[in-house]
């Protein structure tokens, strides 16, 4: 039986491995870059089959020539990728354990993130409702430590199961071992380009404790007359807010927020406010996040267009593809924005979007 399975697995890999493929359908920026090889991963076991494959086996342990993607919602291709692109499509949501206080759920890395949010709130489970409608897949959530409206994925993640391509071994990392930070994790540092995340386990609560003190949420709750919103109601509010100010990638190519909100010390904040009293900021522990969108807007970029790339008219943090632009043109626009913000405010913006191949501003 194991021999037959091995034969079928090998055939499955051969069928789904394609050569010289456009990545246009696989990135939300809608950049027409090419990949030398493309593979749709549906089962973790296929990773070993890829490593043994006569054409791409030598690429699998190479950090620079293998790229793992979900929906491609946080990536900008500035040129073709001369290597193997793995589209992670490992599915499945299952309950691992549950008690009176909560439920532990494991989701495949290829599950669409908003589908997991929908699963949680439809079952009355709280913890990730503020992350509704964030594009991408479950596997991308721990890499970026996605966050929105006062909540980060790290608050709900219990562990991450992955395959280390370079070492050829399976691993499970606890929340602490993932070294989560603001839009950061071990997967963007020590393990960058070395692993394939196969599933993520979340601990969700049966007791709703909605985070309502961020941005437009309180205004929407008051407008709707809600005092104690359910997880489903919170997810609905968040989704409506996001739709009102963020472009749909299906209509206007983008990768969400292009820059991180810069984090500064109290002294740096004081310096900024002395010159710009209206500066927008949020407290984070003993430091402060400055609104990158506000910085970009004040630097005069909101709504500006350079060729077929531009800064979205409703949200300055979003760079968009108006059609036919290249990744290099978007990158050049981002560089110009970054330089003007640094010149005006003395603050350097850091990209939140993954630039491939890696390029420095």
The β-bridge partners of 351 are 259
**pLDDT for 37:** 96
Give the right CATH number for 93-244 from 3.40.50.1100, 3.10.150.10, 3.30.465.10, 3.40.50.720: 3.30.465.10
- Quick one: average pLDDT of 257-285? 93
In this structure, which topology does domain 247-356 adopt according to CATH? Answer: 3.90.78
Strand ranges in 70-131 using DSSP code E only, listed in sequence order: 75-77, 81-88, 93-98, 102-108
Residues 166 and 58 sit within 8 Å (Cβ to Cβ): no
- Where, residue-wise, is CATH 3.30.43.10 in the chain? 2-88
- Give the right CATH number for 2-88 from 3.30.43.10, 3.40.50.300, 3.30.390.50, 3.40.190.100: 3.30.43.10
Counting beta carbons within 10 angstroms of the beta carbon of residue 176, is it exposed (0 to 12), middle (13 to 18) or buried (19 or more)?
Answer: exposed
| Distance of alpha carbon 110 from alpha carbon 44, whole angstroms | 11
3-state secondary structure of 19: strand
Where does the pLDDT of residue 211 fall: very low under 50, low under 70, confident under 90, or very high at 90 and above? confident
The answer to whether 240 and 220 are in contact (CB under 8 A) is yes
Kindly report, as residue ranges, where domains of CATH 3.90.78.10 are found in the chain: 247-356
Q: What is the per-residue pLDDT across 182-205, written as a single tens digit (0 to 9) for each? A: 999 999 999 999 999 999 999 999
> How confident is the model over 112-162, as pLDDT tens digits?
999 999 999 999 999 999 999 999 999 999 999 999 998 999 999 999 999
Sheet of strand 281-284: strand arrangement? 263-264, 287-290, 281-284
| Burial of 235 per CB tally in 10 Å (0-12, 13-18, 19+) | buried
Q: How far is CA 131 from CA 146, 167, 250, in A?
A: 8, 33, 20
Q: Has residue 6 got a pLDDT over 90? A: no
Residue limits of CATH 3.30.465.10 in the chain: 93-244
pLDDT at 12: 57
pLDDT band at 166 (very low <50, low <70, confident <90, very high): confident
The residues assigned a catalytic role are: 183, 257, 352
Share above pLDDT 70 across residues of the chain, in percent, rounded to a whole number = 96
- What's the chain's average pLDDT? 93
Q: How confident is the model at residue 13 (pLDDT cuts 50, 70, 90)?
A: low
pLDDT band of residue 10 (cuts 50, 70, 90) is: low
* pLDDT tens for each residue of 62-113: 888 999 999 999 999 999 999 999 999 999 999 999 999 999 999 999 999 9
Q: Residue 15: pLDDT above 70? A: no
Answer whether residue 20 shows pLDDT above 60: yes
Half-sphere exposure in the Cβ direction for 181 (13 Å, CA): 10
Q: Is 228 helix (H, G, I), strand (E, B) or coil?
A: coil
Q: Which of helix, strand or coil describes residue 205? A: strand
End-to-end CA distance of the chain: 54
Closest alpha carbon to 45 in 96, 82, 72, 6: 6
Distance CA(50)–CA(205), nearest Å, equals 38
Q: How far apart are CA 275 and CA 308, in angstroms?
A: 34
CA–CA gap between residue 90 and residue 140 (Å, rounded): 12
**Residue 276 · residue 206 · CB < 8 Å:** no
- Give pLDDT, residue 27: 97
CA distance linking residue 309 with residue 279, whole number of Å? 27
Residue 361's pLDDT is 82
Beta strands in 227-294 (DSSP E): 253-257, 263-264, 281-284, 287-290
């Amino acid at each position: 039986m194991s021999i037959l399975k091995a034969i079928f697995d090998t055939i499955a890999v051969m069928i789904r491995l394609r050569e010289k493929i456009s990545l246009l359908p696989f990135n939300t920026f809608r950049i027409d870059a090419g990949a030398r090889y493309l593979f749709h991963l549906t089962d973790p076991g296929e990773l070993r089959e890829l490593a043994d494959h006569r054409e791409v086996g030598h690429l699998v342990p190479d950090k620079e020539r293998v790229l793992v993607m979900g929906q491609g919602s946080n990536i900008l291709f500035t040129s073709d990728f001369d290597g193997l692109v793995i589209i992670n499509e490992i599915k499945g949501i299952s309950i691992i354990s549950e008690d009176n206080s909560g439920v532990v759920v494991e989701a495949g890395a290829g599950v669409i993130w908003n589908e997991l949010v929908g699963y949680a709130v439809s079952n009355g489970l709280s913890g990730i409702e503020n992350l509704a409608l964030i594009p991408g897949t479950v596997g991308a959530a721990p890499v970026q430590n996605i966050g929105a409206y006062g909540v980060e994925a790290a608050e709900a993640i219990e562990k991450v199961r992955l395959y280390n391509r370079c070492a050829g071994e399976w691993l499970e990392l606890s929340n602490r071992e993932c070294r989560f930070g603001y839009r950061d994790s071990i997967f963007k540092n020590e393990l960058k380009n070395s692993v394939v995340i196969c599933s993520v386990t979340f601990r969700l609560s049966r007791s709703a404790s909605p985070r309502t003190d961020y941005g437009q949420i309180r205004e929407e709750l008051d407008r709707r007359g809600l005092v104690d919103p359910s997880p489903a109601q919170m997810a609905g509010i968040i989704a409506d807010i996001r739709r009102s100010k963020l472009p749909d990638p299906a209509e206007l190519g983008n990768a969400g927020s292009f820059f991180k909100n810069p984090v500064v010390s109290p002294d740096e904040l004081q310096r900024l406010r002395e010159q710009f009293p209206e500066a927008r900021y949020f407290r984070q522990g003993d430091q402060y996040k400055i609104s990158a969108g506000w910085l970009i807007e004040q630097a005069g970029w909101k709504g500006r267009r350079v060729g077929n790339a531009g800064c979205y008219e409703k949200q300055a943090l979003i760079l968009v593809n108006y059609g036919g632009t290249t990744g290099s043109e978007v990158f050049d626009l981002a560089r110009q924005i970054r330089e003007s913000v640094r010149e005006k405010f003395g603050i350097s913006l850091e990209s939140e979007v993954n630039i491939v191949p890696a390029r420095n501003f």
